[in-house]
Amino acid sequence: MLLAARRSRPSAAFGASVLLALLAAAPPSRADSLPARAAHVADYDMRVRLDPDAKTLDGEQRIVWRNPSPEPVGELWFHLYLNAFKSSKSTFFVESGGQLRGDGMPEDGWGWVDVRSVRRADGVLLAPGATFEHPDDGNADDRTVWRVPLPEPVPAGGEIALDVAFQAKLPRIFARTGYFRDYFLVGQWFPKLGVYEPAGMRGRATGGWNCHQFHANSEFYADFGRYRVEITLPKRFVVGATGKRTERRENADGTSTHVFEQADVIDFAWTASPRFLEVKSTFSAEKDVTPQEYAETAKLLGRSLDEVRLSDVEVTVLLQPQRAVQAERHVKAAKAAIKWFGLWYGRYPYPTITVVDPAYGAGGSGGMEYPTFITAGTSSRFNRWPFDRVLFPEAVTVHEFGHQYWQSMVASNEFEESWLDEGFTTHSTAKVMARTYGPWAVQLLGLRIGESHTSRAGNSADRMFDAIRTPAWGYSPGNYGFNSYGRTDLTLRTLEALVGTEAMARVMRTYHERWRFRHPASEDFYAVVAEVAGRDARWFFDQAVERPGILDDEVASVRSERVREPRGVFGEGEGKTTLSTKEARQKEREADEAGGRPWRSTIVVRRRGEVRLPVSLALEFEGGKSQTMSLLDLDFEGARTETMPLLDGQKDGRPWLGRWKRIELTGERRLVSATVDPENRVAIDVNRLNNSRRVEPDGRAAAHWGVRWVFWLQQMLAMVGL
């Protein structure tokens, strides 16, 4: 048993006085805006027996499906995800080449799921007439989508109960689910209904099943319901699963039956291994969150203290024994995630969270999210110095917990809009990590890497070919990961800079509250931004999310030189006068001696990318004087720019949206440098180095590294014998 997380906090008297002061400023409390329950569309009552030697599951389900639409539905569509691992002809295998996230499929480690029978609760057999469907790529060999026509349609608002018998063979772990020796991570293992989307939901014109094939780059999409699952397996296994264990029975045949239940979730996964070390701790809403943190959050969000109050959560970590020393790291990360995700977006509504440390050799099952059940990822090398300050286990734990919010509760369609869950989670994870552990996610022998560096490292002009909002299997090769994760993170940071930190916090809170236990689309997020931030940001999303393109603003050149005396021939006819170069130079010298000629400065700003955002330019002059100006333009393109918001401090005018602009100034001081986006607000800029330029080069940085480079060459020469 672990102690509750130890925290240093101000004395009680100080905390109380802060609380009282902030309470005086807080708005009056109002009704809790968090939805308490989900509308249950698909309930699953399952019994499954694991044969650990054959690696098979024998299962029975009672499924109750409720028609959420105003029209009758005459068929049911199922996901049979495990059939993605059935052969090399599946869509998953063809697209992935048999690997995922660097893990290759072990030889002959195939898996599958067979539906033995499916009957209506009254006994009518439904399997005859069922067909495999291929709505995405027409691959007739793919068996991951199964359509079952019904003898009578389910009426609008009605329900149907089904009894399904199935058998599954688990694959060798390489892509999230399966087995490795006697470790089992069982995800996407049962026949699961797709989502019936009525007309109007997520922008649909007509109602229909949303049930995609299992692709290499896609994840999942399902309806909310209640799950009750009985898992029978040899009693030597330690079991963890979605939800809370409500019962454990010891059977006469040497097996145990574990019963887990959870309502208001979209999936159920479980794990079993005889080697797990089980560590339990409790997140305490009272002890693990300070009064100051509650008060600050309430103020930031403009909510009452009651609305931001959290609930206790039981935290279970199932660790590999050789990594027992990392238990506290996982617990601390889980609790930090429960706290900050809860404070910022809404309290975590479930009583439990289970964190699984995959077995060595089963890393493919790590880094994955299921409702109230996540798999982390670590290694024994993180047990001790110098790797104990590489926060990889923490980052994975926080990220996968984050999916409880963006995926499990706000259940967006991971097939079609992966940015809504992966990108939002990446963005939120960076904030939690920074808040809990400081700016550095990696500190290793002098090297320091922040969470933002990961997103920034992937941002490149080469990413110009994909829009963020693209079906998961539709990205150009190698671009699913960055577009779904890091680029979305950078886009949300840019949005935050545009609308302001407080407004962004309220946007995210409102979006979560409004869409908790529902299925949003991208437009729903845009609408929340417009409503809460008070301005339509569609112009921003059109460029940054809906269309391919990059943003790369640069200061292409800067010059600053004294105004020169004109020279040459002036006037017409008899009145011509000539000023020779020599005479002009003489005049310039005299002017300089008298008090100095003014300086003419010329700056050229360019946009190398297609994305154009309002931007400001900072100018630094000799003597330390500086000036920041909004880049405005008298000519603008199209009515869309009428709604373009201005940045804080901008003068009234229309933002400049052209491809290049020359700015000329004349003044008493020489220009030293010019910087576009001086406050680093535009995180999606693929290259910050070219955002500024100085008139005269400064060789100090190059000298520093030139000297170091020579020294490194000297060390290398010493190693080869010189």
Partner 1 sequence: MIAAVTREGLAAARRTPRLAVTLWLLNLALALAAGVPGWLVLRSAIGVLPEADPLRHGLDLGVLIDLVEMRPGLLGGLAFSALGVACLGLLLGAAATGGALEVLTSRDEPFAHRFGRGAGRFFGRFVRAGLLVGVVTAVVVGLLAAPLLALCARLRRESGSELATNAAWAAAVLLGGLVVLFALLALHAARVRIVREDPRRVLPLLRSGFAVVLGHPAKWLGTWGVNAVLGALALGLYVAFRNAVPAGTGPLVLLMLVVQQAFVLVRSWLRVALLGSEIALVQHLRPLPVAKEPSQPAVEPLPGPAPF
Binding site for partner 1 (CB under 8 A): 106, 180-181, 183, 322, 359-362, 379-381, 447-450, 452-453, 456-457, 459-461, 673, 675, 686-714, 716-718, 720-722
How does DSSP classify residue 422? H
Q: Helix, strand or coil for residue 241? A: strand
Structure tokens, 46: 């399952």
- β-sheet bridge partners, residue 601: 560, 665
**Could you give the angle at the alpha carbon of 322 between the alpha carbons of 320 and 323, nearest 5°?**
70
**Could you give the angle at the alpha carbon of 421 between the alpha carbons of 420 and 424, nearest 5°?**
75
Please count the CA atoms within 13 angstroms of the CA of 359 that sit on its side-chain side: 20
Nearer to partner 1, 171 or 346 (CB): 171
Q: How far apart are CA 179 and CA 52, in angstroms?
A: 9
Shortest Cβ distance from residue 688 to partner 1 (Å)? Answer: 5
DSSP calls for 275-320: TPEEEEEEE-TTTSS-HHHHHHHHHHHT--HHHH----EEEEEEE-
Structure tokens, 28: 């009056």
Shortest Cβ distance from residue 469 to partner 1 (Å)? Answer: 24
Shortest Cβ distance from residue 55 to partner 1 (Å)? Answer: 15
Angle between helices 327-345 and 501-515 (to 10 degrees): 90
Nearer to partner 1, 100 or 591 (CB): 100
Nearer to partner 1, 180 or 341 (CB): 180
Write out the H or E segment, with its range, that includes residue 262. strand 255-265
Nearer to partner 1, 292 or 322 (CB): 322
Q: How many CB atoms lie within 10 A of CB 252?
A: 5
Nearer to partner 1, 585 or 704 (CB): 704
Residue pair 444/390 in contact (Cβ under 8 Å)? The answer is yes
Q: How far apart are CA 265 and CA 262, in angstroms?
A: 7
Shortest Cβ distance from residue 492 to partner 1 (Å)? Answer: 18
| Whether residue 386 has a cis bond before it, omega within 30° of 0 | yes
Write out the H or E segment, with its range, that includes residue 217. none
Structure tokens, 205: 């014109």
Structure tokens, 189: 């293992």
Cβ burial 685-698 (10 Å sphere, 16+ → b, else e): bbbbebbbbebeee
Structure tokens, 224: 């909310």
Shortest Cβ distance from residue 20 to partner 1 (Å)? Answer: 42
Structure tokens, 298: 């309430």
Shortest Cβ distance from residue 84 to partner 1 (Å)? Answer: 21
Shortest Cβ distance from residue 171 to partner 1 (Å)? Answer: 15
Shortest Cβ distance from residue 488 to partner 1 (Å)? Answer: 18
Q: How far apart are CA 59 and CA 430, in angstroms?
A: 40
Please count the CA atoms within 13 angstroms of the CA of 705 that sit on its side-chain side: 3
Q: How far apart are CA 629 and CA 623, in angstroms?
A: 19
**Could you give the angle at the alpha carbon of 573 between the alpha carbons of 571 and 574, nearest 5°?**
95
| Cα separation of the two ends of the chain | 59
Shortest Cβ distance from residue 360 to partner 1 (Å)? Answer: 4
Shortest Cβ distance from residue 610 to partner 1 (Å)? Answer: 17
CA–chain centroid gap for 550, Å, is 19
Shortest Cβ distance from residue 656 to partner 1 (Å)? Answer: 21
Q: How far apart are CA 485 and CA 503, in angstroms?
A: 22
Structure tokens, 422: 């992966």
Shortest Cβ distance from residue 450 to partner 1 (Å)? Answer: 8
How does DSSP classify residue 634? S
Structure tokens, 214: 């299992």
Shortest Cβ distance from residue 464 to partner 1 (Å)? Answer: 13
Shortest Cβ distance from residue 38 to partner 1 (Å)? Answer: 39
Q: Which residue has the tokens 């399904």?
A: 164
Q: How far apart are CA 408 and CA 371, in angstroms?
A: 6
